[in-house]
Amino acid sequence: MIDSRIKFRHLQTFVEVARQRSVMKAAGLLHVSQPAVTKTIRELEEVLGVAVFEREGRGIKITRYGEVFLKHAGAALAALRHGFDSVSQARSGDAPPIRIGALPTVSTRIMPQAMMLFLKEETGARIKIVTGENAVLLEQLRIGDLDLVVGRLAAPEKMTGFSFEHLYSEKVVFCVRAGHPLLGGAAFAGFDAYPVLMPTHGSIIRPFVDSFLIANGVAGLPNQIETVSDAFGRAFVRQSDAIWIISEGVVAADIAEGKLAALPIGTGETKGPVGLTMRTDAVPSMPLSILMQTIREVAGRVSPAA
């Protein structure tokens, strides 16, 4: 717990004296008197219980305890400056856009509501949302083209250098048009007689789908179409007898509105974690932190249904 007696002026004064190795120079840069600097350093030493500076000839030098504290005091001031700059840039409109990568299921189910909440905060920040496959989005995050990815948790070997915050878990569904011949029938009965829209081999859910089909005795599907396009999938399934294997979030609204329907197939074992992925060395700006919080809020509402 941080001692409440330590104030911003203690950190600022300590860091400046440590940099200048001189009370007089620090006082000039801080626009205060030398006695004020000396008093502030003594107050800090009293709180810490150790000396942070000691005399060396006519000057002063930092002690080993002071060296230890300097690393943390400097980082604290840098973080504060970063925070002030982020707020200032966001308010002035000079900040670069916040770049978000989102899986199709997230773009459909989470981001619209999260953005509406974010816009109410009036941060003035610009937002760029990119939708694509998980592997592609993570690579863009790794090289700095994205600030945040909202999607499924990748394999451990793909998560090096990333942090992941779990939001909810989501399963795969077998989706068809309303009134489809297979609705109400036995699971997988006559399944291979219809075109099947499959996630691509590079998609994050494909291994879940392949394992699930094999476990249920479906070794091969003669009429496969691979796609990651939710626009094509939605249009094609509504106009045909095709079966669409897709993350539940992509079609949740269509199912709720009765435009599409899920086949009576238990897919609980295909559930996978959905969450926020960032680089471990990244410090979110104020607008990004607010957007992340609105995403968490919306995810908390949809997670029971996921």
Q: How confident is the model at residue 2 (pLDDT cuts 50, 70, 90)?
A: low
Question: What is the spatial distance between Cα 77 and Cα 161, in angstroms, rounded to a whole number?
Answer: 25
Q: What is the CATH number of the domain that holds 17?
A: 1.10.10.10
The reported pLDDT for the residue numbered 156 is 87
Domain count, the chain: 3
What CATH number is attached to the domain comprising 184?
A: 3.40.190.10
Contacts within 8 Å (CB) and 24+ apart, 234-239: 234/260, 236/197, 237/175, 237/176, 237/177, 237/197, 238/177, 239/177
Q: Which residue range(s) make up the domain with 297?
A: 98-169+272-302
Position 1 in a domain = no
Judge whether 180 lies within some domain: yes
Which of 76, 92, 108 is a domain's end point? Answer: 92
Q: pLDDT, tens digit, for every residue of 142-187? A: 888 899 999 988 888 888 889 999 999 999 999 999 999 888 777 6
2 assigned to some structural domain: no
- Asked if pLDDT for residue 305 goes beyond 60, the answer is no
A 10 A CB-CB count for 61 gives: 13
Predicted confidence (pLDDT) per residue in 236-252, tens digit: 999 999 999 998 888 98
Tokens of 274: 């959905």
Q: Are residues 24 and 86 in the same domain?
A: yes
> 177 and 238 share a domain?
yes
User: Chain-wide mean pLDDT for the chain?
Assistant: 86
> Is residue 177 assigned to a domain?
yes
CB 111 within 8 A of CB 129: yes
Q: Are 276 and 164 in contact (CB under 8 A)?
A: yes
Classified as helix, coil or strand, 79 is: helix
β-strands 224-226, 196-198 pairing: parallel
Are the beta carbons of 167 and 277 closer than 8 angstroms? no
